[in-house]
Amino acid sequence: MITGSSYDGRRHMHVQIVLFDGFDPLDVVAPYEVLYAGGTASDGAVTVELVSAEGPRDVVSGTGGLMLRATGTLDPARSGLVLVPGASGRVGEPGEVPDTDAESASAWQQDEFIPVLLGRTLTTELPGLLKAAMDNPRITMAAVCGGSLVLAMAGLIEGRNATTHHLGLDMLEATGVHAVHARVVDDGDLVTGAGVTSGLDLGLYLLEREIGPRVAHAVEELFAHERRGTTWRAHGQAPAAL
């Protein structure tokens, strides 16, 4: 659970959603809207901002050149939630190893393969900031879709339970992560969502977990969205082989 600062005597969750070149817009906008609405429904108990490793800038997504503006720098010292999206582009072969050398990293362009876009984040300041955030006990790390692969390729979630888009589950396993085939996976201070639309369900689950089910239900009704799929938690007895 997030041990954030109080807001008028209540829990306050500040959310930093990370932008990087080639990000998937839906991975960002879906949880942003859910969490922002949760802030309204909770009288300000949730605040959300878009950040990047480089600071305030216009960041180009991988979808048709659509841009969103990061208004701040990812701050690993600030308590709350850090959320990492995936990338949008051409679908590479499952398990494809990204090319992250310096030459390819300097040549980002539209419609590249998703594994390449994800791997290219490793050539920026982002992995170091994400590691510092994960080392902070007052931060919960979250990821949507390929965002889990960004964390995995940076070596930050080896041995942890996580999910990602179904096409990336083998790649997640290859990095030493226990890949769970579920819509949302709660592994304590690491909460991940599967394919792109799971950002809605991830956002609602985080609202329920951190702020409460009544706020989450109010946002769910506002968006006319019924949560779907399995939410897997790292609790209870491990199942025997079936």
Helices (H) and strands (E) in the chain, counts: 8, 14
> Contact at 8 Å (CB) between 48 and 57?
no
According to the model, what pLDDT value does residue 46 have? Answer: 98
Which of residues 110 and 241 earns the better pLDDT score?
241
pLDDT surpassing 80 at residue 100: no
pLDDT digits (tens, 9 = 90+) for 147-199: 999 999 999 999 999 999 999 999 999 999 999 999 999 999 999 999 989 99
Mean of all residue pLDDT scores within the chain? 90
According to the model, what pLDDT value does residue 227 have? Answer: 94
pLDDT surpassing 70 at residue 92: no
- Name, in order, each residue with C-beta under 8 angstroms of 2's C-beta and a sequence gap of 6 or more: 11, 13, 79, 80, 81, 138, 139, 140, 210
In the three-class reduction of DSSP (H, G, I as helix; E, B as strand; rest coil), residue 209 is classed as helix
Residue type, 86: G
According to the model, what pLDDT value does residue 119 have? Answer: 93
Return the H-helix or E-strand segment holding 210: helix 198-210
pLDDT digits (tens, 9 = 90+) for 7-64: 444 679 999 999 999 999 999 999 999 999 999 999 999 999 999 999 999 999 999 9
According to the model, what pLDDT value does residue 109 have? Answer: 59
Query: What is the CATH superfamily name and number for domain 6-233?
Result: Class I glutamine amidotransferase (GATase) domain (3.40.50.880)
**Burial category of 241 from C-beta neighbours within 10 Å (exposed 0-12, middle 13-18, buried 19 and up):** exposed
pLDDT surpassing 90 at residue 110: no
pLDDT surpassing 70 at residue 207: yes
According to the model, what pLDDT value does residue 17 have? Answer: 98
